[in-house]
Homo-oligomer: A and B are copies of this chain.
Amino acid sequence: MNRLVVFFTFSILALLSQAIELDFCVGDLNLPRGPQGYACKNPTTITTDDFVYTGFRGEKATTNIFRNNVTLASAEAYPALNGLGISMGRLEFGVGGVIPLHSHRTSEVIIVIRGTIIAGFIDTNNRAYYKRLEVGDVMIFPQAMLHFQINVGRTSATAFVSLNGANPGFQLTTPSLFAGNLPAQIAEQITLLSHNEVMRLKRAFGTA
């Protein structure tokens, strides 16, 4: 009898059950979620396709007000990321397109694939760091800092971002204030914006 097969059997017996789920924990979106992510999908149902995300393929329309298109590959859209502490996004910019001011729980790196953008962040001392990025350039946006990207080229632009969390929690500053249920009076008091400007933006977001 083959002695190596004996070893193989041994290693399976010793390692099979304990390791298979924690090598990865593909999220089961139907189970209750915990503070560290989703419960793991039954490992016997997992295939290679769970680990591959194809949602970035193809053209992305940039017809919204910011002339951008954001596709997020975070744990909900790509459950294999669950528990692994990393995620991605594709940013598509029309001519003049903008990713408006926002922040999140994690740090982020951006790489420009097509076109020319200005990317920047602001630190807690109100100092802005911003620069024109060409194809292949990378910029880091440190954890929780406000940041933005603007297409400053004559053509559309594409960038990919990666964040060190499976679910970074994007918070867009202007929509936070005007697109939800925050009362206009509070918005004014906590931003110093004028009443007229607050109402103009609430009307624009349909919440006036």
Contacts and interface: CB of A to CB of B under 8 A. Distances in A.
Nearest to A185: B150
A111 to B, nearest CB: 6
A176 interface: yes
B186 A197 contact: no
A66 B125 contact: no
| Copies of this chain per assembly | 6
Nearest to A9: B64
Q: Determine the interface band of chain A, counting residues with CB < 8 A from chain B.
A: 35 or more
A153 interface: no
A18 B75 contact: yes
B88 A162 contact: yes
Contact of A86 (B3, B109, B120): B109
A192 B131 contact: no
A95 interface: no
B18 A150 contact: no
Contacts of A56: 111, 136-138
Given A131-B48, A169-B23, A36 B39 contact: no
A186 B120 contact: yes
Contact of A33 (B39, B137, B189): B39
A204 B4 contact: yes
A107 to B, nearest CB: 4
A-B residue pairs, 7 tightest by C-beta:
A35-B83, A126-B180, A162-B162, A19-B124, A18-B76, A4-B204, A7-B65
A157 interface: no
Contacts of A127: 180-181
Given A11-B175, A49-B131, A36 B33 contact: no
A20 B123 contact: yes
Given A12-B125, A33-B39, A176-B126, A137 B53 contact: yes
